[in-house]
Amino acid sequence: MGRLNVNLCGIELDNPVIPASGTFGYGYEYAELYDINVLGTFSFKGTTKEPRFGNPTPRIAECYSGMINAVGLQNPGVEKVIAEELPKLKECFNKKVMANVGGFSVDEYVYTAKKLDEQEQVGWFEVNISCPNVHGGGIAFGTCPDNAALITKAVKEAVKKPVIVKLSPNVTDIVAIAKAVEEAGADAVSLINTMLGMRIDLRTKKPVIANKMGGFSGPAIFPVALRMVYQVSNAVSIPVIGMGGVSTAEDVIEMMLAGATAVQVGAANLIDPYACKEIIEKLPQVMDKYNINNLNEIIGGVK
């Protein structure tokens, strides 16, 4: 076992660096630039039961130290992902991939997860509970502990592979949500998803994004994400995957000290497609600088 290796829900990773869902497509696009097998793994684009075109454009807005997006889960639907996207990925990625699953009802989450559970390439599920609950008036599943637990339990009962629940920061108490999904059977949690943000065009005096508001990500949210990872990791006994503004090897070390077993990189991939590769390459020298022999020694090192 190398000094960068970590174990995520029983599966060994060569390193803890994972491109976040929505920033790495289905992988093969980045494989045209470099060998993506250097990654620990990656979380592929959020996938739903039916194909989704997503929200109207414009749906991206630049911000100081970040960006806002309201893409709206655009994806070809689970049947096409299985038939077309995963075979392309298999040609360039020989590790287990993380399947990010979205839905607008319990049945949709379960259907999509069951379909993907049959795929040998899939190692884990990352269940995005920031999706609006169409049966509950449009409120996101992840804003209520009971609803979060409901989705977790339903997906967990439907699949054999580890279930990671992706938590939203747009809540009063993220620890309560984390505890609820742990009790419902989650094998791990990942956090944070994007924060809610907005930009206004001074010339038109209208929101930049057609959806008015969207998910704010990038370096500006890193301190908030780090705080939430710290809080959650000290409240649950399951692994935590930290994300939110991570863009350097130093950020990865900070996230792990706060309690993360693995770390996802999101917006940085959209700025520099080589971001994850470079972070992995720099990790050993940053570890040497701070006298870290093995990454497992520092997980949750700050109490």
Q: Please list the active-site residues.
A: 131
Q: What pLDDT does residue 259 have?
A: 98
Q: What pLDDT does residue 137 have?
A: 52
Identify the segments of the chain with pLDDT beneath 70: 1, 132-139
Q: What pLDDT does residue 225 have?
A: 98
Q: Which long-range contacts (CB under 8 A, 24 or more apart) does 177-181 make?
A: 177/142, 177/143, 177/145, 177/148, 178/232, 178/235, 178/236, 179/145, 179/235, 179/236, 180/145, 180/146, 180/148, 180/149, 180/152, 181/129, 181/148, 181/149, 181/152
Q: CATH topology for 6-297?
A: TIM Barrel (3.20.20)
Read off the pTM. Answer: 0.96
Q: What pLDDT does residue 303 have?
A: 84
Q: What pLDDT does residue 135 have?
A: 64
